């Protein structure tokens, strides 16, 4: 049987298109019609394929025994061996536990802090003072943890750091905050709040700005005092935003702050401070156990993905306004 000609194939596939040449067909293609737009979009799509979708292909080494010379494809499949090894490893379980504990503390103390700050800041009457305080409060947000870790190692130094000098002044013993396992998690939580307090408060302040000022006026006329006004006007006014932020924080349950821990910790506090991302880094990059580290990363990413999806799903149910 004779193979169909090209023209025939085209006619069969697109019967409505009169066939004269390939160019003719191309002209009916919508991407060709908007070819300048296609050119504009192309770099972006290539980027997402190369740097976001393609690395997913490399995730398979979590189920392989990766050998550098053999490459991703040539390395041998080992099934769930890496994961079995992982869960048997005390250092992994330690990092997993720390991740959850630190996230939990950060949530318990770090979630209400910016709300409280926003409420108090909102009560400052002088507009320029309010702006001034706010401007200062979110300054640390813009600095990297490398800088901040440098700042804190100096500031918390047991011998010359001002905080310890202050402690000595009032008759207490100096504490090596960054090297003492009893203190290290508190340092992580405190510095995390310190860095992002002002920044996280922005969204609550914006919500408060949306509250009708007449409500406050009426309450004042009715003789409501400051705390009553905060309780009955401000809090209900920001409640929807608080709810959304609360739900979205579920998504962060296993997300650790790699930059923070990586720059603040040291071998003396691995027991309480090592988290999954720093553990991945040490096993993968420093000890060159690529397959093992990829398995750790995959474990974390899967839990993280599930948590984020659950958070989004609940947020959608609650408010009809999901992330997107």
Partner 1 sequence: MKSIRKLRIHPGGLLFDTVNMGMMLLLCITTLYPFLYLLTMSLSPSDVSFTTIKIWPEKFTWANYQMVFEHKYIRSGFVNAVIRTVLGTLITLVVTVSAAYVLAKPYFPHRKFWTQLIVLTMFFSGGLIPTYLMIKGLNLMNTVWALVLPSMVSAFQLIVTRNFLQSLPAELEESAKIDGANDIYILWKIVIPLSMPILVTLGLWNIVFHWNQWFDSMLYMTRPENEVLQVVMRRIVLDGEMDMLSTAVPEMQRQVNTETLKAATIMFTTIPIILIYPFVQKYFIKGMLVGAVKG
Q: Which residues does 235 contact at the CB level (< 8 Å), separation at least 6?
A: 119
In the complex, minimum distance from the CB of residue 16 to partner 1, in angstroms, rounded to a whole number: 17
Query: Which residue, 94 or 312, has its beta carbon nearer to partner 1?
Result: 312
Find the shortest distance in angstroms from Cβ 5 to partner 1: 28
Residue 293 C-beta: closest distance to partner 1, Å:
5
Q: H or E element: which one contains 107?
A: helix 90-110
Q: Which is nearer to partner 1, 100 or 202 (CB)?
A: 202
Closest to 77 measured CA to CA, from 97, 63, 95: 63
Nearer to partner 1, 124 or 268 (CB): 124
Q: What DSSP string runs through 180-236? A: -HHHHHHHHHHHHHHHHHHHHHHHHHHHHHTS-HHHHHHHHHTT--HHHHIIIIIHH
**CB of 272: closest distance to partner 1 in angstroms?**
19
Nearer to partner 1, 4 or 31 (CB): 31
Contact at 8 Å (CB) between 205 and 134? yes
Q: What is the Cα–Cα distance from 35 to 37, expressed in whole angstroms?
A: 5
Instruction: Decide whether 103 or 122 has the Cβ nearer to partner 1.
Output: 122
Q: Please state whether 288 falls in left (phi above 0), alpha (psi between -120 and 50) or beta.
A: left
- Least separation in angstroms between residue 274's CB and partner 1 is 15
> Could you give the maximum distance between any two Cα atoms of the chain, in Å?
100
Neighbours of 193 (CB within 10 A): 17
What CA–CA distance (Å, rounded) separates 166 from 174? 9
**Minimum CB distance to partner 1 smaller for 5 or for 324:** 324
Residue 80 Cβ, how far from partner 1 at the closest point, in Å? Answer: 17
Q: Which is nearer to partner 1, 93 or 225 (CB)?
A: 225
Residue 316 has which token pair? 């959608």
| Contact criterion met (CB below 8 Å) for 312 and 250 | no
What angle do the packed helices 235-248 and 290-319 form, to 10 degrees?
150
CA distances from 74 to 126, 287, 296 (A): 68, 21, 21
Minimal distance, residue 151 CB to partner 1, in Å: 5
Shortest distance (Å) from residue 57 CB to partner 1: 8
Is the Cβ of residue 7 or residue 323 nearer to partner 1 in the bound state? 323
């Amino acid at each position: 049987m004779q193979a169909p000609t090209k023209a025939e194939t085209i006619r069969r596939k697109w019967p409505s298109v009169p066939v004269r040449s390939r160019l003719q067909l191309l002209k009916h293609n919508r991407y060709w019609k908007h070819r300048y737009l296609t050119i504009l979009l192309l770099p972006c799509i290539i980027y997402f394929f190369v740097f976001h979708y393609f690395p997913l292909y490399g995730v398979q080494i979590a189920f392989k025994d990766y050998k550098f010379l053999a490459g991703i494809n040539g390395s041998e499949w080992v099934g769930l061996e890496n994961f079995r090894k992982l869960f048997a490893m005390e250092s992994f379980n330690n990092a997993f536990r720390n991740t959850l504990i630190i996230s939990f503390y950060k949530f318990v103390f770090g979630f209400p802090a910016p709300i409280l700050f926003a409420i108090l800041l909102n009560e400052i009457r002088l507009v320029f003072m309010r702006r001034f305080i706010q401007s200062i409060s979110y300054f640390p947000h813009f600095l990297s943890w490398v800088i901040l870790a440098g700042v804190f190692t100096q500031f918390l130094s047991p011998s010359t750091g001002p905080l310890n000098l202050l402690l000595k002044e009032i008759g207490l013993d100096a504490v090596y905050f960054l090297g003492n396992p009893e203190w290290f998690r508190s340092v992580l939580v405190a510095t995390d709040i310190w860095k992002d307090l002002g920044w996280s408060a922005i969204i609550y302040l914006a919500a408060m700005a949306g509250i009708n000022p007449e409500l406050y006026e009426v309450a004042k006329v009715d003789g409501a005092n400051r705390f009553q006004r905060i309780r009955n006007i401000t809090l209900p006014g920001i409640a929807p935003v608080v709810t959304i932020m609360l739900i979205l924080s579920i998504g962060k349950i296993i997300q650790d702050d790699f930059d923070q821990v990586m720059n603040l910790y040291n071998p003396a506090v691995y027991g309480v401070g090592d988290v999954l991302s720093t553990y991945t880094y040490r096993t993968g990059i420093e000890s060159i156990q690529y397959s093992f580290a990829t398995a750790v990363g995959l474990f974390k990413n899967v839990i993280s993905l599930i948590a984020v999806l659950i958070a989004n799903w609940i947020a959608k149910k609650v408010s009809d306004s999901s992330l997107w």
